[in-house]
Structure 1
Amino acid sequence: MNHLLLRLSVAVLAPTAILHPQAAHCQAAPVTAAPKLDPVVTQLPHISIATVGKGPALFLIPGLASPRAVWDGVVADLAKTHRVYLVQVNGFGGDDARENTKPGLLDGITADLNTYIVANKIKDAAIAGHSMGGLLAMMMGARYPQSTGRVLVVDSLPFFSLLFGPTATVESARPFAEQARARTISTPQATAPVTSDPGGIWSITAEGRIKVANWGAKADPRVSGQAVYEVMTTDLRPELGKVTAKPFTVLYATGAGPQAKTIWEGGYAGSPATLVPIADSWHFIMLDQPAAFLQALKSFVGPQ
């Protein structure tokens, strides 16, 4: 049960710990040079979209309390062969919350994505998402199949509250989700950068954990709180059969040990998803195993 609660703290409840980190005195994580993006960013009610590169469409959606900078380590390579669309949820990365303090955040994000894809006549879009972004990618595949050509999920379950146990239901998770939302909303945002290891299992390295903490510290607590609640009370398992996108691939970190395989195989049982374990990694696979992560992304989008 300890592993399950640890995984839950990483994938769902992490913002309650990183919205108010303590400043300390040690070397900060090295900064990855951000890719040079196109100058125009499209603003929608629930998300903004930045672009770079030319070729087939690839949408990258970060997770809970995370900015588009999560993908900085892979964007330059992917943009050599693809038109990369970097999504950022309004309220994360220091952005204005706009419509994301209200209920319906997840539905609003997917509706925005579909509207953008249809309006720009984008065909066979590949959609990859990390954590909450992975749940959104699956929602796109299940609810907007005409706008979704491929789906890649990075360390995300179709029902996050399975991390409490295999018999969890939306109703049994709701009280915990309400507590998590209230706790997150009431946590003040940090006013100083994180410079020492905050602990936790977001990443296997201190540098990675510092980077994740600083990303999360810029997130609006109101948006993180609403997102926590909706993620914990969304069970997409009954809809996975509607995902016709091929491939439909799920990368999952094995840092929790043998239980990781049991949890992820149980969560996706009977679905069309192909599960791919990534060794020696915690939740932010792109930080812990960057070479393996980039190779998995390239395999996902296929030869060009």
Structure 2
Amino acid sequence: MSLSILSVFSRRTLLTSLVAVAAGALMPAFAAEFTSDRISVTAEGAGTDVVLIHGLASSPRVWREMVAAVPGYRYHMVQIAGFAGQARGGNTEGAVAAPVAEEIARYIAARGLVKPAVIGHSMGGTIGMMLAGRHPDSLSRLMVVDMVPFLGALFAPPGASASTVKPMADAMLTQMRTSDPTARSMRNTATINSMVDNVAMRPGALDDSVKSDPDVTARAYHELIVTDLAPELARITVPTTVLYVVPKAPGMTDERIDGAYKASFAPLKNVTLKRIAPSAHFIMWDQPQQFQSEVKAFLGQAK
């Protein structure tokens, strides 16, 4: 092959490669290089990498409006097996959140992502904290949406530990596993209605919940209650933003919740706490413009 022909061939090869890369950056795509029986990930957009982790019995649909309103980033939307109609896969037994955190760390490494920003809602926030504490070099910053380091503390008197709340969590696990379909359906509806103020968005959240595997949901919820991440917060070195709301429960006030979140995240030095009101648990739907504004500020710092 002559030098001139080789040169033309090289230019064509390079051009083809560039076109392929550009097309891949602009079009939604599944991460074919990564396989897992615990999570699947869909990548969409182009720009700085952002990993999005949904909550319990939910799906990436919670991010749709935000992703559309905050372009200029490559979003990696995690779907956890066993939720929203997905097969149980590797989440068929045992813990869910902790193994999923490890899989996300593996995904970041396998895809060659360079310190992506991570945003997690509810259980996704717990998973984000696990990721940041156990794999501190894998991300650049973390946003936790309406989640505390120790969920069990909300079910017990001050000073409770993972061991003291375990009997209560065990009882809840048994109750969830033995509920008949009618009772489960009523509970799902009541839960979604209490967690989503935006009536128009409730059907989607309920659809995800109804299609989630009951046993995976029950075990994951049990795991969240008995997992205390407070001792691990000091290991989180990346800037962390926590958005939270005032739960709809007797005796809950702005001052009480502000104090609870401040105390819960005290070991985390580089943290910004912000209460969003009025809103229920799904802030991205109840206060979309404010949530999107917070995400823009959070991601703008990551550039």
TM-score band w.r.t. shorter chain: 0.7 to 0.9
Query: Are residue 257 (structure 1) and residue 253 (structure 2) matched?
Result: yes
| Pairwise CA RMSD | 2.5
The reply on whether 1:213 has 2:206 as its aligned counterpart is yes
Q: Distance in 2 between matches of 1:59 and 1:252?
A: 20
Q: Identify which of 216, 231, 234 aligns with 1:238.
A: 231
1:302 alignment partner in structure 2: 300
Measured after TM superposition, the shift of residue 215 of structure 1 is 2.0
Q: Structure 2 vs 1, CA of residues 116 and 85 (structure 1 numbering), >3 Å: closer, same or farther? A: same
1:66-110 CA-to-partner distances (Å, cap 9, x unmatched) read 1111111111233x2111000011011100010112223222101
Output the CA distance in 2 between the equivalents of 1:245 and 1:297. 16
2:283 equivalent among 285, 289, 298:
285
Matched, 1:82 2:80: no
1:197 CA drift (Å): 7.0
**AA at the equivalent of 1:228:** Y
CA distance, structure 2, for counterparts of residue 37 and residue 267 of structure 1: 40
| Distance across 1 between alignment mates of 2:132 and 2:181 | 34
Q: Partner residue of 1:163?
A: 154
Matches within 5 A, 1:1-304: 38-40=28-30, 43-78=35-70, 80-164=71-155, 165-187=157-179, 198=190, 200-246=193-239, 248-255=240-247, 256-258=252-254, 259-272=256-269, 273-302=271-300
Q: What displacement does 1:188 show?
A: 5.3
Give the C-alpha shift of residue 146 in structure 1: 1.3
What amino acid sits opposite 1:279 in the alignment? Answer: A
Q: Which has the higher helix share?
A: 2
Contact kept, 8 Å, 2:136 with 2:238, in 1: the verdict is yes
Contact 1:130–1:155 at 8 Å: present in 2 too?
yes
- AA in 1 matched with 2:168: F
Question: Aligned-pair distance for 1:206?
Answer: 3.4
Say which SS state the counterpart of residue 89 (structure 2) adopts: coil
**Does structure 1 conserve the Cα–Cα contact (< 8 Å) formed by 2:29 and 2:44?**
no
**Contact 1:189/1:221 (8 A) holds in 2:** no
Alpha-carbon spacing, 1:39–1:123, altered in 2? closer, same or farther (3 Å): closer
Tell me the secondary structure at the aligned position of residue 163 of structure 1: helix
5+ residue gaps, structure 1, are: 1-35
Whether the 8 Å contact between 1:188 and 1:221 is mirrored in structure 2 is no
CA gap 1:163/1:37 in 2 versus in 1, 3 angstroms:
farther
Partner residue of 1:14? none
Distance in 2 (CA, whole Å) between partners of 1:186 and 1:198 is 18
Q: Which runs of 5+ in 2 are unaligned?
A: 1-25
TM-score, reference length from structure 2? 0.81
Note the alpha carbon deviations across 1:145-166, whole angstroms, 9 max, x for none.
1111110000000000111233
What corresponds to 1:27 in structure 2? none
> Which entry has the higher C-alpha Rg, 1 or 2?
2
Quick check: 1:142–1:239 contact (8 Å CA) kept in 2? yes
Rounded to whole Å, the distance in 1 between the matches of 2:30 and 2:112 is: 18
The secondary structure found in structure 1 opposite 2:242 is: strand
What amino acid sits opposite 1:182 in the alignment? T
Determine if contact 1:67/1:93 at 8 Å carries over to the other structure: yes
The 8 Å contact of residues 169 and 222 in structure 2, kept in 1 or not, is answered as yes
Q: 1:188/1:38 Cα in 2 relative to 1: closer, same or farther (>3 Å)?
A: farther
**Aligned amino acid, residue 211 of structure 2:** K
